[in-house]
Amino acid sequence: MAPNYVMIVALITFICFPLSFGDDAMLPTHNYLIAKPNCNGSCGNISIPFPFGMTPDCILRDQFLVTCDSSLNPPQPFLENSSIEITSISLAGQLNVLKLISRDCYRDGISTNKTKPMISLPSLLTVNNTVNSFIAVGCDTYATIQGRYTKFGTEIEYLPYITGCMSMCYSIDETDDNTCSGVGCCKTSIPKGAWNRPITLSSYYNYSYTNMTNNPSCNYAFVVDQANFNFSKSYLSSLQNTKKLPLVLDWAVGEDKCEIAKRNSTAYACKSNNSYCHDDSNGYRCSCMKGYDGNPYLKDGCQDINEYVNPQPDYMCVKNAICNNTDGSYACTCRPDFSGDGYPECNRDNPQRKIQNIYLIIGITAGVALMVFIIFSWSYTAFQRRKMSMMKEKFFQENGGLVLQQRLRREEGSSHTNTIKIFTADELKKATNGFDKDRVVGQGGFGTVYKGYLKDNCIVAIKKSKVIDRNQIEQFINEVPILSQINHRNVVKLLGCCLQTEVPLLVYEFISNGTLSEHLHDKLKASALSLDIRLKVAAETAGVLSYLHSAAYPPIIHRDIKSVNILLDKSYTAKVSNFGASKLVPANQKEISTLVQGTLGYLDPEYLQTNQLTEKSDVYSFGVVLVELLTGRKALCFQRPEEERSLAQYFISSVEKGHLFNILDDYIVCDEGNEGQLKNVAVLAQRCLNVKGDDRPTMKEVAAELEAGSRLKHLWDQTDQHSEEIKSFLHDTQPLGFGYEYSEHSVHIDSITSHVTLPFPGGR
């Protein structure tokens, strides 16, 4: 503990003794220049530093004009003549402001109060994309923000952007404080350099289903400083009384980079001799050099710092030394009767002997330190290897590896069990080249899919899921053998899994021809999809769903049927994928109460309103896919006119008006002999899209109708659907869940986050 006492004595001496030595010790701090000479440097309690100012002759550019409203108490500054209230201006390049929020209120399904404030900033001011987020609050809310942002390169570009998010809930009781993940509150980021941001705010169902009838139901959207906003469920009503929220802006003094700006000496903004220029994201800014402080945009604005009166982090004068301020720096000298240069020590004894002792100590210390470093490095490497091995074993056990191995051994002799392999983490890491981002072939709400090459050159798809709830590991263990035993030619086959990572990795067969969505919505690829191919894909997909609903035991509801989850091989054979949201139907139960999960545009409206999941929910989603096949249009697109945004509603409306052939894809209506066939398929799709689930056909009926009407029926007749291709994939009768655990009275949700995906073009 002796060194601590020495340090305390040194600190006391250092503070007290210099007061008696040298003139610089008593120098007062500088009053640095903030505003331009003869200009007011504050509005109320807010400092207004140059290049900002409150009159045209007190600013550097018109974009930095500040209006001071003296009618308020205290007076408040505003950016130019806008409603953007300034709370602080930093010479480090940030502007803190208060901004109006967007609001849209409904009563009895009718919009009663709608405000749409927007912000349009000068080119030198942009919305800070790291501390701000775009947030929407409400129980039936979708909000988008679009505008332009500045991209700086060899030339300055002003590019458009659009992003947004959706917030849904049935009542305020479903929301959680400090949680903004889509239930009552959602948030997303904005692009770097954004300076123009109009906000579109609306209700998807006009609050017709929410349980908030006592007060007007309102939507809110705003860009806000994340550090000053924590969501509270009370905001669903109290935000009606909030007009403004904090926002952080970035500002630059010029649009050019430093190298270009310096060429124009008159326009170059770094005026102080002790300043320097540095590039920023939207131009350039100026700062005072080390050892100086003040305003770099004013002549003589950067003044020397007295390091003793205003200590700096690297203040180095030691015990028995005096600090002498110099221009931009400082010097240390030893007190009288002490020898040395003020650093590292001031000593009373022979300085030469002291220096020799110091060198000796340094040499010994360096040698010991080198030996310690070598020993530590070797030990650390061995420890890391041991730690990695233990971590892999820990993850393997936590992910249920032992239980899964035992279960697979029990089922090895079963004739209907496919071979499933448990891969090591190193195998899959090598197969994906360390999970290289260039190997990513798909991303979704449940994880990322990588293309991998195994040792035998077999190409596989490796799904890396998001972190799952450790309480649901048993369901994952059940799910792997279940998926491995689905033996249907139109279902993507599960080959194996890896349990040595924090989240289990699933290995599937690789389907090379992309998704049905890619083929339908790409003009070049869509031209190759004839009506026969489209009806073949529809019939194969319907056959899978019919099998899951009727032939599998217990029955399975896929719950996320959409064109993105239907893969195509080189012969355009359909392969249904992504069972991450699927649910097993317990015995003697036709419907399941769950939180709503799925993708807007495909989501069963009856399920959305009642939270009751049935097999008919898959029928509705398949109906939307069938309409996609007929029209070539996306299921939901906010860039289309309002009456055409929802493909399902627009299709039903067109059929009822007799305009069927006006909305069909041009690639399938060129043959005059297929009109009757198209009408029959359209009627089938219309039946699948009935609002009431009881009025929809079963998937078994749908598959039978498509099979009977398909020109490729003979390909289906060659397959005995009761042979080894379609089997009951659970030979034990235990009802196992796809990510869910059932009990007599409750449903426990797993780690897969319930979500509703809103496909904003160009956004998130």
Q: Which amino acid type is present at position 59? A: I
Looking at residue 654, the DSSP 8-state letter turns out to be: H
Looking at residue 335, the DSSP 8-state letter turns out to be: P
Q: Which amino acid type is present at position 633? A: R
Two tokens, residue 567: 């893969």
In sequence order, the 6+-apart residues with CB closer than 8 A to the CB of 719 are: 489, 725
Contact in structure between 196 and 120 (CB atoms under 8 Å) = yes
Query: Is 560 labeled as catalytic in the residue annotation?
Result: yes
DSSP 460-511: EEEEEEPP--GGGHHHHHHHHHHHHT---TTBPPEEEEE-SSSS-EEEEEPP
Q: Which amino acid type is present at position 83? A: S
Q: Is 592 helix (H, G, I), strand (E, B) or coil?
A: strand
> How far is residue 736's CA from residue 493's CA, in Å, rounded to a whole number?
19
In sequence order, the 6+-apart residues with CB closer than 8 A to the CB of 67 are: 54, 77, 78, 79, 80, 81
Query: What is the b/e burial string over 145-180, where b = at least 16 CB atoms within 10 angstroms of the residue's CB?
Result: bbbbbbebeeeeeeeebbbbbbbbbbebeebeeeeb
Looking at residue 723, the DSSP 8-state letter turns out to be: S
Q: Which amino acid type is present at position 456? A: D
Torsion angles phi and psi, residue 730, rounded to 5: -125, 100
Helix axes 401-410, 473-484, angle to 10 degrees: 30
> How far is residue 211's CA from residue 196's CA, in Å, rounded to a whole number?
36
Catalytic residue among 104, 280, 560, 604: 560
In sequence order, the 6+-apart residues with CB closer than 8 A to the CB of 397 are: none
Strand partners, 497: 422, 506
The burial class, CB within 10 Å (0-12 / 13-18 / 19+), for 695 is exposed
> How far is residue 182's CA from residue 187's CA, in Å, rounded to a whole number?
8
Annotate 125-161 with three-state secondary structure.
Answer: EEECCCCEEEEEECCEEEEEEEEEEEECCCCCEEEEE
The separation between the first and the last C-alpha atoms of the chain, rounded to the nearest angstrom, is 58
Helix axes 531-546, 699-709, angle to 10 degrees: 150
Two tokens, residue 712: 């490729």
Two tokens, residue 96: 């803190």
Two tokens, residue 498: 């890896």
Contact in structure between 447 and 577 (CB atoms under 8 Å) = no
Two tokens, residue 605: 């409206």
The torsion region of residue 384 among left (phi > 0), alpha (psi -120 to 50) and beta comes to alpha
> How far is residue 156's CA from residue 564's CA, in Å, rounded to a whole number?
37
Contact in structure between 604 and 693 (CB atoms under 8 Å) = yes
In sequence order, the 6+-apart residues with CB closer than 8 A to the CB of 149 are: 126, 158, 159, 161, 191, 192, 193, 194, 195, 196
Q: Is 290 annotated as a binding residue?
A: no
**How far is CA 309 from its chain centroid?**
47
DSSP 423-463: E-HHHHHHHTTTT-GGGEEEEETTEEEEEEE-TT--EEEEE
Residue numbering of the annotated binding site: 464
Residue numbering of the annotated binding site for ATP: 464
Residues belonging to the active site? 560
